[in-house]
Amino acid sequence: MNSLLVMVVTFVLYILAYNLYGKRLGSKLFELATKNITPAEKINDGVDYVPTNKFILTGHHFTSIAGTGPIVGPVLGVIWGWVPALLWVIFGSIFAGAVHDLGALVLSMRHEGKSIGDITGSIINPRTRSLFFLIIFFCLLIVIAIFAILMANLFVQYPQAVFPIWAEIIIAMGLSWYLYQKKGSLLVGSIVAIVLMYFTIWLGLYLPLSLTNQTWLVIIMIYVFFASTMPVQRLLQPRDYINALELGVAMVLLVVGIIVRPLPIVAPAVIPSPAGAPPMFPFLFITIACGAISGFHSLVSSGTSAKQLDKEPSALAVGYGAMLLEAALATLVILAVTTGVTRAEWLKTYAHYAQVPTLPTFAEGGARIVNALGIPKAFALNILAVFMVSFASTTIDTATRLQRYVIAEFGDSINQKWLTNKYVAAGIAVVSAYLMAFRGSANLIWPLFGATNQMLAGLALLTITVYLVKKNKPIRYTMIPMIFMIIMTTWGMVANFRSYLAAGNMLLTVINGLIILLELWMIVEAVTVLSKSRQSSLDLPAGTT
């Protein structure tokens, strides 16, 4: 199969989905309207609630949800064949992931920008608020830990990426000053920021910095503590916007590279039982999370992005549109790691599931594509390395800020006001994640991350479904993907539990077991409320069953 044909067909499907399915959900199901006041407009505290230009917010949201998830997942997922991986990315993103992200964003926007966990308490019942808080806490704990490990590993593997990443902080704060203090032009600021960013990437080739993984872990955790407590428009928002521009350039380079030199896909279409890999069902749908559907997105939608929407209709681009952009990235990742080598070389790289070098595989594959444009391979490799580290840092920054919100909201719900202090909450978030990162590895934690993350997506869709029932709205759009995700992830988590128990890893066994129990308890609570809501509704529209 030709990579150019696959890319064109897939991208056309994403465009059609946004303009047909996405806009229908926005106007008919969620009734987005400019006349409705958003939390950012109502509260506007200059720290977390900040009305933001739609394009800046879409960039911030996109980079926050993407991270290295749509890279690691698809790189691993193609071990079952490129066809099932690509199909899950396409249809999962259109009918599950983008619906999930938009729904969580709208719910939070209609509930003063609260997190999906806090909202669950008012939509279902107060008990589920505590249950969801615990599930979210564990999920974010795993997210912060695993992306800190990935970021540290990338610094060790690509020391030439270190200088550009830390220089970006200065560029981002300068962009914030120019846009918010000087009221400068977004176009001018964007051009200057991206030119400076790529200059530092070139300069990084001559200024490599090498430290150990553990040293980088400590530095990263100290950094995210301060980043997560700063006003969002000071660093997180402008840096994510720069990352979005950076990603846009990288994606354009990959797209043009594929156009200039389209290569055949050498990977097998389907591999039912690859060596060392768990069964395709359910683990394909757990391994490829970001890029198809990811529960972490509901936390970003409801934790940060909902607090920054300037107008309700902007939710369509931020929620549904950003998810399809992430799917486009996942598509390019699949093409990058399945082309450019011989079939024998590909089979050697994917000889065993546990030994697939995920991020280097994408970096090398992407560099081969970009090299077709005449860009020197060393520079092309650093472009992709910086892009990967940038996204990992964006995810860990956002996850730490979200964990701070979750701990503060939980403290408020149990009348422990000391937990609402942002420095205390951020400290708990950082220290707990560091302890897990220090004791684990990415390969060890990833299956638990994938299963927990996807289970959270199913539970978020469950909350959105209950909300729609109470609003007398059709529920098929959210109920079908909800049922699928809950079945797949429960199946996967039970398999993980057995695996961790057999390996004698009691920490992950206990965490995995607790999450399963919390999930089942929350499902029972939600189904009970859902049943009562449907029975008490006298005029549900046709097609809601």
pLDDT in tens, 349-390: 999 998 888 888 999 999 999 999 999 999 999 999 998 888
- Do residues 330 and 74 touch, judged by C-beta distance below 8 A? yes
Q: Which domains does the chain have, with CATH numbers?
A: 3-535 (1.10.4160)
- Interval 408-437: pLDDT, tens: 888 887 888 899 999 999 999 999 999 888
Task: Please report the DSSP string for 287-346 in residue order.
Answer: HS-TTT--THHHHHHHHTGGGTBSSTTHHIIIIIIHHHHHHHHHHHHHHHHHSSS-HHHH
In angstroms, the CA 330 to CA 325 distance is 9
- Do residues 539 and 476 touch, judged by C-beta distance below 8 A? no
- Interval 228-248: pLDDT, tens: 999 888 888 888 888 888 888
Q: Mean pLDDT throughout 83-110?
A: 97
- Interval 186-230: pLDDT, tens: 899 999 999 999 999 999 999 999 999 999 999 999 999 999 999
Burial class of residue 447 in the structure, from the number of CB atoms within 10 Å of its CB (0-12 exposed, 13-18 middle, 19+ buried) = buried
Grade residue 124 by pLDDT with cuts at 50, 70 and 90.
confident
Per-chain mean pLDDT for the chain: 91
Residue that has been written with the tokens 């990263």 in this structure? 220
Q: Is the dihedral of CA 464, 470, 475, 480 positive or negative?
A: positive
Residues linked to residue 245 through DSSP beta bridges, in sequence order: none
In angstroms, the CA 162 to CA 140 distance is 25
Q: Mean pLDDT throughout 324-353?
A: 96
In this predicted structure, what is the pLDDT of residue 90?
98
In this predicted structure, what is the pLDDT of residue 518?
87
In angstroms, the CA 452 to CA 456 distance is 6
Q: What percent of the chain has pLDDT over 90?
A: 64
Please tell me the least confidently modeled range out of 379-388, 458-467, 520-529. 520-529
- Do residues 489 and 451 touch, judged by C-beta distance below 8 A? yes
- Do residues 94 and 13 touch, judged by C-beta distance below 8 A? yes
- Do residues 349 and 363 touch, judged by C-beta distance below 8 A? no
Burial class of residue 345 in the structure, from the number of CB atoms within 10 Å of its CB (0-12 exposed, 13-18 middle, 19+ buried) = exposed
Q: Is residue 264 helix, strand or coil?
A: strand
Please tell me the least confidently modeled range out of 5-14, 395-404, 535-544. 535-544
Predicted confidence (pLDDT) at residue 545 exceeds the cutoff of 90:
no
- Interval 17-76: pLDDT, tens: 999 999 999 999 999 999 999 999 999 988 789 999 888 899 878 877 877 889 989 999
Please tell me the least confidently modeled range out of 207-221, 270-284, 447-461. 447-461
- Do residues 392 and 191 touch, judged by C-beta distance below 8 A? no
